[in-house]
Structure 1
Amino acid sequence: MSEESGKGWWTAYRQVLPQPVLDLAELEAAADALHSYESLFIPGVLQIADYTRAIFMSSQSERSTSELERAVQFRMERQKILTQERPPTLHAVIHEAALHVRFGGTAVMRKQLLYLIRMAEMPHVTIQVLPFTAEGLSAFSTPFLLIGSHGAALDTVLVETPASSLYVHEREAVDKYTTRFARLSSTALTPLDAKVPASAHDSRDTLSLIQHLLYSLQEI
C-alpha cells in the first residue's frame, strides 16, 4: 500500500476533503472485507446520493454548494468498490434507529430503503438490522468499520466520533472490535434476502422489518 499511496482516484479530492476521509477511500480500495456497524446512519457505501446530501446539509459544517456536491460525489465514488471486478465482502449491521431517521424526508428515505434491498441481492453483501428489542447490547454504541486487508496483516478499525475519525491498527484492539461485531451480528435479525419467498420470512427478520417501514413511508 505504501508503494501505491497517493495514486488512487481519491487524490483528485485532496484540496476539497480532509485527509482522514481520503485515507478511508484508500483503505477500502485495498480491502478484502468490510464489517460495518452503524447506529444512526445507513453505512456510507450503501447510501443513495440524496440521502448523503441530506446528511451533509443537516450537519453544522459550513460548506458551499460546490463543496457539498463534491463531498457527495466522493461518497458515491467510494461505492464503486462493491461493483468492481473483485469486490470486498461487505457485512453491515445497522441499528433499527437508523431506518427511522428520515434524512431528506419520506420520499428519500423510501428510496434509500429500497436501495438497501437491491444491494443485498449482491452475493458479497450482507445486511442485518439490530432491532430496538435486542437484549444485552448498548443500543447506540459508537459506530465502527472493520477493514480487513491482506490476510489480516493490515486490518484496521475506523471509529467515528463527532470530533474526529480514529484509525486503530493494534492487533489487540482489532480483535476486540472483531468480537464486538460478531456479537452484534448474532443479536441482529437474520440477513436481508429478497429472494426468499414472503411465506418463509419470519415476522421479525430484516426484510420484513424494512418492508414494514416502507409501508409506513407510502405517500397517501
Structure 2
Amino acid sequence: MPPKRHLTARRVRLGAELRKLREATGMKAREAAALLGVDSVQMSQIESAVAGVSAERVRRLAANYGCMDEALIEALVAMAVDRTQGWWEDYRGVLPPAFLDMAEVEHHATFIREVVITHVPGLLQTPDYARAVFRYMRPELPESEVAPRVEHRMRRRAVIEGDTPTPYETVVHEFALRVRVADRQAAQAQLRFILGEIESGHSVVRVIPIDQDGFGGTGASMMYLGGPVPKLDTGLRDSPTGTAFIDAEPQLEHLRTLLRRVEKASLDPVASRDFIHRLTKEL
C-alpha cells in the first residue's frame, strides 16, 4: 500500500503492535517482509506507520506470528481498514500533531479515566478557563493561534457529551479547583460547569482534598484510555517535551496501579459533588 501522508496516533499504534507481535516470536523484519512479498524497507514502513497495511496482510502476519488472540487480531484489522476523517482533521496544519492525536485516541476509547493535580481536566474546562491556561503557558502566542486551541479543546467534549458518550471518570485535586487561572468569576463558572457535567451524568468526578492524609501523588497527572481489547489500552503522561503516549504493558500496569492508589485517596463521587458545591460558595 502507498505511504501515508500523515502519521496518526492510531496508525502508529497499529504498526507498533505488529512489531511487538513479530519481536515476541524472535522473527527478523526481513523474514516478516518475505511473508508479505515485500522488502525490509517496506516492512519497516509498515511497522513505523509510514505505509499502510491491508486487513489480509494483518491476518497473514498474525497467523505466522502464532497469535491466537482473535479479539486482538480483529481489533488490529479494524485499525488497518479504518478511514475515519474525524473532526480533528480540521486542525491539521493549524495545531501541533499532539492535539490531533489526543482527540483521535479519545474518539476511539472505550472508556477514559484521568487524574489531574494542577489544572481542571481539559474535557471539563470552560472556554474562559482554557483560554487563560493557554495564554499563561504560551504568552507569545497571538490570538490567531490561541483561538483554535480553545475551540479544539471544547470540541473534544463530544466524546463525553455525544449520542454515544464514552464513560469518563476523573480524579481532581482540590488545588486544581481552587487555583484561579483567570479571575473569581471565571473560577466560579468553571466549578458550576463541572457540577453540571456531574448532574447530567457526563462525568464521574472525585476530589482529593488538600488535607487528605497519605497522598503523595503530586506528580500523578495522567490519562488512561481503554482500547477495544485490554492489550490496546493507552496511557498518556505529560512531560517537559510534550505528551507521551504509553502502550508498553509494564508501564500500563504501573498506570493502573497509580489510578487505584489515587482513587483510594479521593472522596467518593457524592461527597466530591458536595465538596465542589461548598467550594463554589467559598470562591
TM-score interval, smaller chain: 0.7 to 0.9
Structure 1 partner of 2:88: 10
Letter in structure 1 aligned against 2:181: F
Task: Could you tell me which runs of 5 or more consecutive residues in structure 1 were left unpaired when the two chains were aligned.
Answer: 194-204
CA offset at residue 186 of structure 1? 1.6
**Is 1:77 paired with 2:143?**
no
**Is 1:24 paired with 2:90?**
no
Contact 2:220-2:258 at 8 Å conserved across structures: no
**Is 1:176 paired with 2:234?**
no
SS state at 1:121 partner: helix
Letter in structure 2 aligned against 1:112: Q
Contact 2:92-2:100 at 8 Å conserved across structures: yes
Counterpart pick for 1:109 among 176, 187, 193: 187
Contact 2:197-2:203 at 8 Å conserved across structures: yes
Contact 2:198-2:273 at 8 Å conserved across structures: no
Contact 1:110-1:214 at 8 Å conserved across structures: yes
**Is 1:207 paired with 2:273?**
yes
Deviations 1:111-137 (A, max 9, x none): 000111110123352100011122222
Contact 2:205-2:273 at 8 Å conserved across structures: no
Alignment partners' CA distance in 2, 1:189 and 1:43: 17
Q: State the Cα RMSD in Å.
A: 1.6
**Is 1:128 paired with 2:206?**
yes
Structure 1 partner of 2:167: 89
Task: Could you tell me which runs of 5 or more consecutive residues in structure 2 were left unpaired when the two chains were aligned.
Answer: 1-78
**Is 1:159 paired with 2:205?**
no
Contact 2:217-2:262 at 8 Å conserved across structures: no
CA offset at residue 66 of structure 1? 1.4
CA offset at residue 214 of structure 1? 1.2
Letter in structure 1 aligned against 2:273: L
SS state at 1:178 partner: helix
SS state at 1:120 partner: helix
Structure 2 partner of 1:34: 112
Structure 2 partner of 1:47: 125
Alignment partners' CA distance in 2, 1:170 and 1:21: 22
Normalising by the residue count of structure 2, what TM-score does the alignment of the two structures yield? 0.69
Contact 1:142-1:160 at 8 Å conserved across structures: no
Counterpart pick for 1:99 among 174, 177, 190: 177
Q: Which has the higher contact order (CA 8 A, sep 6+)?
A: 1
Structure with bigger strand share is 1
SS state at 1:62 partner: coil
Percent sequence identity is 29
Alignment partners' CA distance in 2, 1:2 and 1:84: 25
Give the greater-gyration-radius structure (CA). 2
CA offset at residue 153 of structure 1? 3.2
